[in-house]
Amino acid sequence: MSQPYRTVSAELAGALTMHRDRVALRDRGLRLTYGELAAFVAACRVPMAGQRAVALYGAPGALFGATAATAVIAGCPFVHLDPAMPNSVLANILDELEIGLVIVSQTPRDGQLPAGCQVLDASTFLGAPATAATAPAEFPPSHPIYLVATSGTTGRPKCIPVTHDAAFLSYEWRDAYTPYLPGMKVGCYIFAIWEMFRPLRNGGEVCFPGIEDLLSPQALATFMADHDLHEMLFTPSFFEKMLQGLDAERAASLPLRRIILNGEVVSDRLIREAQAKLPDVALWNLYSICETHDICMSRVTGPASRAEGVSVGKAMPHLRAIVLDDNDLPGPSGTPGLLHFAGPRMLGPGYVNRPEETARRFRDLTIEGRELRLYDTGDQGFVEPDGEIVVLGRVAHMLKLRGHSIQTRELTETMAGLLGFSHAIPWVQQVGEQGQALVFYYTADARQTASNSARWPGAGETARTPEALAAALRAVLPAYCVPSYLVQLDEIPIHEVSGKCNYKALPAISPQIGTDAGASDALPVVAQAARIICCGETQIDPSRSFHDHGGDSLMCVDFIVSLERDYDTRVDFDWALNLPLARLHDLLSARETAKPVAAFDRPGILLTGATGFLGRHVLAEAVRLLPEGQVVYCLVRPRDDEAAQRLDATAAELDIPQDRVVLVAGSMDAAEFGLAAADYAALCQQVFRVIHCAAIVNLAVDRAQMEQWSRIGIAAVLDFCRNAKADLRFSSSNAVFPEEGGPHPEAPAADFAACSGYGAAKIAAERQIEASGLPALIVRLPSLYDMAAPNPKDICENILAACRASQSLPAGLCFPMTDVRAAAAFLVHAAAPGAVEFCNLIADDPLTARQGMEAFETLPAETWLARAPLAEPVRKLIAAAPSTLHANARFRNEAAKAHWCKAGLGAFDRICDAPALLDARLGYQREPALT
């Protein structure tokens, strides 16, 4: 028996059948038709059966969207777990909602999810058998469709259930203003957990930009153009930053037909800039609150004519706006007061397990003789006689910042655990032209001031929140809840009439502003960072990153726009946010567009690290494998001795015909490898496979820096693979696992305490590759050896050389090694993967001292290390990681063996001839008496 009322679940289920062949969900790495989504839903809904609610972990993307659609169709309420949330906040959400099942669309960091919950990988439901029809679940209208975890200003976010009835009424009402037609392409990133369902109900195509697309105006514009986007929803702050980064010609070329703005007040300045740069795009302003879903929507046709406040339109039919004065009495039309809404089908049931907070915000009052349940929005405003709602601003108990709600009472309680104060007023202020910032105003007595200064140097002044305090807050709060500024006042300003805080009298933020770039001797990156962060140039440390100085992701958009203008080149978001400013300057200064030495006009593979120890062997093997007419394109970073000369020398040494090797003088650090757009496009047309052997090994930098450099490089490689539609072979390392224990799997690696910076960088790269969804072979290699030519940079080769020179062995000497020629053959000859596959190309048994080596003295490892003739940096490295000398870990290698066999490479034990290697390295000769 069908339900007597319509539901979003039924609409989604019907769309899966009606639009089976249309694309439903898409991101850079995954594309699902409605038919494929139906098959996914049939498989994914099975473990949801019987669950009160599920948690969906991951950034918005096609796989996340498929999982959310499944939950809605299955009638299983879901809550979104944002990977950017602190671990404690994620755990609190799961505990608050008593959720035991988490479905992940990206790999969580080690320890990010509580150990007690069941975790399922959403990707395992991809490729499920096709289904004829999808049946939606049945439930009452009051059943939650999803739960929104909001604010989190105490580290325990409030969870708000949104009912199926409210969602359906909202979607149906908005269709009258902004209808969605089959095939319409909608960009979705913010508020994705409810925005994605609107177009999906009607056969639209939902496109999810990645983080690399969102945080550069040029990259986002490219994403819009590549996916022919017709609509996108923005917060006004984000939309303004995007427009600032685009010139009028680029903006006008975008395929957008309409833009919806939500989450903040839309300024007249933004309206004017949008109309100037996007004259043919319809601009809509949406006023909505999680507790009531949508409220009203209006077409923006020009700057507001009113002196103060913003008109947001008329309330939807199922809501009634009621303005109350300080005595909870309604006033006449046009009279300002506290804005409330009534509407039993739209108002949520309240906050889960928060009866006191629910009672404060969802109020039962008698209005005009009727008992009404009202929601207190936290907005000051009034209603015109024609029903138009005018919002004047926020009141003290709730603030809005870049679309996020911040509960001031809860934030104050959290701050009290770290900062001493008598009274406090959190507030959002406009900071010059840099946009809005969260400011924490407070008063403190002499004892509190002294304690604050001792604990947080710099506190007590009108300044940015000290980094140590900000870091402590970020450990328990979402980033948007961390105040950017602390302002200590002598007293809180009081309004002489109301007796309450006079918010207009709170002092403006007027820090020392950095000198404009170019007006001083400071590096442009330093000058721009100082300008955006609002401090003096002398306060910027070039050895630290923009993020280290307190820059956030939205500020980084400004930073990128400024750097692209100053350096006249595209700037990667990860670079701008995370690289030390001095290194960022060096990279941007050196990035002149590379000119190709030869035309990119023949099919072939792209090889990185071609002049390195592994890469040169891969180059030789690839040239032998490829048919005539195909070439190896070698990406080589330009240096003082010229990239072409280095590559020519490598080719000559390996006896490779020069016409089979084509130089690509560029850098993985650079967007599109630093190539001119036409050259990059030509290279994409010719390459069908990428073998990525380049690696950064720098023992002088810390783990976090290694991870950042790796992340930047692999992102450029993955972008190229997407654009070229090429599969990827990635040379990873056994350093992603501990050097002892096992057997370690041919599967994603988890973080571990003793992981080196190199290993952490490889883990980060593997996760990026896995998340991309591209066909890729991740090949984990131990130390590599060339029987004829030892690699002087390899630590195992250094150990063996020291053993030979000292005629001594450390007790328990043991580590794995693989023949570099075998590794090269595997990377070149292995069959193309259909998805991401992991292979441990590591022998069954590690290299160990064997019988017959009695001539070598065996010493305790510490004694051997002290005596051995090792370079001091190598000695320090081994001392810091003594397991290097007895790396006896075992590895699963079934997938590697299968690929090796399928490629016809012979017996698998060819990957390491341990006896021959020991003989060669230790000067030991086989004699009958010693075998």
Mean pLDDT for 539-555 is 75
Q: What is the pLDDT of residues 274-313, one digit of tens each?
A: 999 999 999 998 888 878 778 888 888 887 766 677 788 8
- Judged against a pLDDT cut of 90, whether residue 71 lies above it is answered with yes
The residue assigned the tokens 């960072």 is 529
> Where does the pLDDT of residue 571 fall: very low under 50, low under 70, confident under 90, or very high at 90 and above?
confident
pLDDT at site 930? 26
Amino acid, single-letter form, for residue 687: V
pLDDT at site 825? 94
The span from the CA of 917 to the CA of 7, in Å, is 69
pLDDT at site 700? 38
Q: What is the DSSP letter of 815?
A: E
Name the residue with higher pLDDT: 542 or 687: 687
CA R_g for the chain: 31
- Judged against a pLDDT cut of 90, whether residue 541 lies above it is answered with no
> Where does the pLDDT of residue 208 fall: very low under 50, low under 70, confident under 90, or very high at 90 and above?
very high
pLDDT at site 120? 94
Closest Cα partner for 389 from 310, 299, 289? 310
Tokens of 239: 């939309």
Mean pLDDT for 662-681 is 82
Q: What is the pLDDT of residues 787-841, one digit of tens each?
A: 888 888 888 999 998 998 888 899 989 999 999 999 999 999 999 888 899 999 9
> Where does the pLDDT of residue 204 fall: very low under 50, low under 70, confident under 90, or very high at 90 and above?
very high
Tokens of 894: 């079934």
Q: How far is CA 130 from CA 16, 23, 34, 127, 133, in A?
A: 11, 15, 11, 8, 9
pLDDT at site 437? 79
pLDDT at site 207? 95
> Where does the pLDDT of residue 125 fall: very low under 50, low under 70, confident under 90, or very high at 90 and above?
very high
Residue pair 784/819 in contact (Cβ under 8 Å)? The answer is yes
Percent with pLDDT over 70 in the chain = 88
The 3-state secondary structure of 226-248, one letter per residue = HHCCCEEEECHHHHHHHHHCCCH
Beta-carbon contacts of residue 384 (< 8 Å; ≥ 6 apart):
311, 333, 334, 390
The span from the CA of 587 to the CA of 738, in Å, is 33
pLDDT at site 927? 37
- Judged against a pLDDT cut of 60, whether residue 699 lies above it is answered with no
The span from the CA of 215 to the CA of 578, in Å, is 13
The span from the CA of 202 to the CA of 190, in Å, is 20
Please state the length of the chain: 931
- Judged against a pLDDT cut of 60, whether residue 96 lies above it is answered with yes
> Where does the pLDDT of residue 517 fall: very low under 50, low under 70, confident under 90, or very high at 90 and above?
very low
- Judged against a pLDDT cut of 80, whether residue 407 lies above it is answered with no
Q: What is the DSSP letter of 4?
A: S
pLDDT at site 135? 92
How many Cα neighbours within 13 Å face the side chain of 467? Answer: 12
pLDDT at site 592? 47
- Judged against a pLDDT cut of 80, whether residue 740 lies above it is answered with yes
Mean pLDDT for 413-435 is 80
Mean pLDDT for 910-916 is 90
Residue pair 530/540 in contact (Cβ under 8 Å)? The answer is yes
- Judged against a pLDDT cut of 90, whether residue 29 lies above it is answered with no
pLDDT at site 872? 78
pLDDT at site 659? 86
Most confident of 427-441, 490-504, 677-691: 677-691
Most confident of 125-139, 393-407, 452-466, 659-673: 125-139
Name the residue with higher pLDDT: 398 or 542: 542
Q: What is the pLDDT of residues 585-629, one digit of tens each?
A: 877 876 544 455 578 999 999 999 888 889 989 999 999 889 988
pLDDT at site 559? 83
pTM over 0.75: no
The span from the CA of 498 to the CA of 480, in Å, is 30
pLDDT at site 483? 86
- Judged against a pLDDT cut of 90, whether residue 684 lies above it is answered with yes
pLDDT at site 838? 95
The span from the CA of 494 to the CA of 425, in Å, is 12
The span from the CA of 750 to the CA of 236, in Å, is 39
For the chain, the average pLDDT equals 83
Tokens of 471: 């870091």
Which residues, listed in sequence order, are joined to residue 382 by a DSSP beta bridge? 390
Tokens of 114: 């509580």
- Judged against a pLDDT cut of 80, whether residue 248 lies above it is answered with yes
- Judged against a pLDDT cut of 50, whether residue 138 lies above it is answered with yes
Tokens of 442: 């407070």
Q: Indicate if the alpha-carbon torsion angle 545, 546, 551, 556 is positive or negative.
A: negative
- Judged against a pLDDT cut of 50, whether residue 522 lies above it is answered with yes
